[in-house]
Structure 1
Amino acid sequence: MSSPDFPVTVPELATLPPPGHPILALPVRISPHAARLERSILEWADSYRLLETARQRERLAGTHLGELVARTYPFVREDRLDTLVGWFTWAFVIDDWYDGPAGAALGDHRDMVARVLAALPVDGRAGGRRSGALFRQLARVWTGLAQPQSLPWRLRFVDSMAAFMESFAYEAANRRAATTPGVASYAQLRRQSGGITPCLHLLEYAAGLEVPGVIRRSDPFQRMFNCAADVVVWVNDVVSLRKELAIGEVSNGVLALAAERSCGLPEAVTAAYGRVADLIGEFHCAEAELTELCADWRGLTDRDQRAVRLYVDGMKYWMRGNLDWSRHSERYRQADRLRLATSPTLLTSD
């Protein structure tokens, strides 16, 4: 369907959930390493010269990525802080690289996806020297992430990264056609394009504990994972709406709902938060089922049970922490066209 025609600036639009919304009942916890996390974000960017201008560096600082990590991984081990924020620095820069109609030309995007995956060998070994600062940074981050993790974890993470990278081509196709996708198809794409699935896999890395495969593959756990991912990306669509209208983005859940329901933006925001409330309700139902499953499943050790509890808590921290962070981040408070990454040398040579 064609993209609905809305004004670029909608300062009067309320983008926060209404009082009593179930997302506000989710737990809040912040890592004591928040200040260190903020510093590390800028250190990664400076070390690999990812930013070209002082304004871009100011924009990255104002994004408060360290706060996002502190809110969504409050139990992160101190020895894993640096690698964790390295991935977030990379993810936000690459996301901006493709952001909006002014984003990077896709060209042979399959080659780009292949080059990203080549920096993530599933055996966890470091690759050779790579051309382009973003590829070199990702390879270094991957060395730190992969080394302590199991092969199944690495396979899941690499697959989620493939989905993240592949989604950019589909979003670009929507922009070229000036078309907002239908809600059903958009919901499937958004779970991948939001980069939330690798973020949720990183909960295990941050905790230093992996959920047993028998639990991870269970129906309740999978439902919780998908619900948490969808809550994060749909809330992000609401809070980023002003910015995305400013840059001409058409792949946004609020716009999809407005087009499908033939309603205005305020009504579409209300509908989006209604969808989020339903997802959180489904998450809690699946959580009750998972609790029964874990109690009845013999063979789970105390360490296994702790890994499950931390992961479940982590999904809740992500749902709530993403909302709280977005209220402070200039990434969404300022509706401008400035992107963190524009230089072709980030992907070729420098």
Structure 2
Amino acid sequence: MPIRPQPLHPRSDEIEAQAYAWAVRRGLVDEAGGRALAASRVVTLATSYYRTAGWAEMAVLARFYVWLLTLDDWFDAPGGPPGRVPRVFHEALARDLWPAVTAGAPDAWRHRFTRHLRGCVAGYRWQAAVRTGAVPLPDVAAYVTWRRRSFGAYPVFDLIEYVERQSFPDALVGGAAARTTVAAASDVMAWTNDIHSLPRDRRAGERGNLAVLLRERRGGGWDDAVAEAERMTGDRVADLLRARDDLARSGPQGRLLGARVTGAVRGAWDWHRASARYRSHAP
């Protein structure tokens, strides 16, 4: 991974603990689920690429990470296609998360964040439908598009502006360099997750996984499928770094956005390799 690792936020342990406790208190998980969250240390995804951000912003960002992960897990639950999202997720978003991040935010940011958050939930629902056979197995191109939504990176990258207390101009976030940076980063993170999730996904009959799809569509064995997924991931890392360098030429805010996005990619890379969520299922 040609992106340097970074130390955790100096208050990472506190930021994590309050987010896991909040998830239990809000009913997103039960006590056992809270312990599993704490063991997974998912919040280090955020605290590994923000080292100087304020406590209040980091606490909300950590809760958003937990909200996204627990909602994703709810869609992954065994059984038929999920129905309505449980009320506790709506309440946690409406009462705690949404007011915090949208207070004083520009309308353009609110609309973009709303679109990306809805797209993420739609991606969760689509992936559950693929798993259960409610929709046919996609081709690789369609899978890449949907997986980019379902990983949840887009709303998280929108929150860079919230944490940094800055507003990026539309010309920056809508420009080719930023769009390519964010898309490539999301792909790298999502496909890394697919590779590390593969043993568990195979046992669960999960079909919405890049390696599973490559094997289904292109033939060969599991080693061939994983090798191809890794090759694709490496190519997207190269795309990401080229786009980040292009983005840096737009000025300080472009450099900041590029640094935070690539920091998130490295944080996700390290987390997948170390987290108890995947450690016992190493590919």
**1:182-197 → structure 2 map (5 Å cutoff):** 182-197=139-154
Q: Please, which of 82, 85, 88 is the counterpart of residue 106 of structure 1?
A: 82
Separation in 2, partners of 1:327, 1:291: 29
Aligned twin of 2:262:
316
- Which residue pairs with 1:48 in the alignment? 26
Most deviating of 91-100 and 71-80 = 71-80
- 1:59-98 alignment, distance < 5 Å: 59-98=36-75
Decide whether aligned partners of structure 1 residues 32 and 218 sit closer, same or farther in structure 2, where only a CA change above 3 A counts. Answer: same
194, 198, 208: which one pairs with 1:251?
208
Report the counterpart of residue 138 of structure 1 in structure 2. Answer: 93
Identity %: 26
CA displacement at 1:290 relative to structure 2: 3.0
Change in 2 beyond 3 A, CA 1:162/1:143: same
Point out where structure 1 has 5 or more consecutive residues left out of the alignment. Answer: 1-23, 113-130, 295-304, 336-350
1:159 to 96, 115, 118: 115
CA contact (8 A) 1:72 1:318 kept: yes
Distance change in 2, residues 1:183/1:75 (3 Å):
farther
Correspondence for 1:276: 233
8 Å CA contact 1:174–1:180 kept in 2: the answer is yes
Q: Cα distance 1:268–1:157, how it changes in 2: closer, same or farther (>3 A)? A: same
TM-fit CA distance, 1:334? 4.0
Q: How far apart, in 1, do the equivalents of 2:125 and 2:32 lie? A: 28
Q: 1:35 to 1:247 in 2, by over 3 A?
A: same
| Contact 1:254/1:272 (<8 A) preserved | yes
Aligned match of 1:58: 35
Q: TM-score, normalised by structure 2?
A: 0.90
Of the two, which has the highest radius of gyration?
1
The 3-state SS of whatever aligns with 2:167 is coil
Cα shift at 1:310: 1.6
Question: Is 2:128 the counterpart of 1:172?
Answer: yes
Matches within 5 A, 1:193-208: 193-208=150-165
Deviation of 1:333 (Å): 2.4
- Is 1:32 the counterpart of 2:46? The answer is no
Name which structure has the greater RCO, CA cutoff 8 Å, separation 6+: 1
Find the counterpart in structure 2 of residue 6 from structure 1. none
* CA shift for structure 1 position 176: 2.6
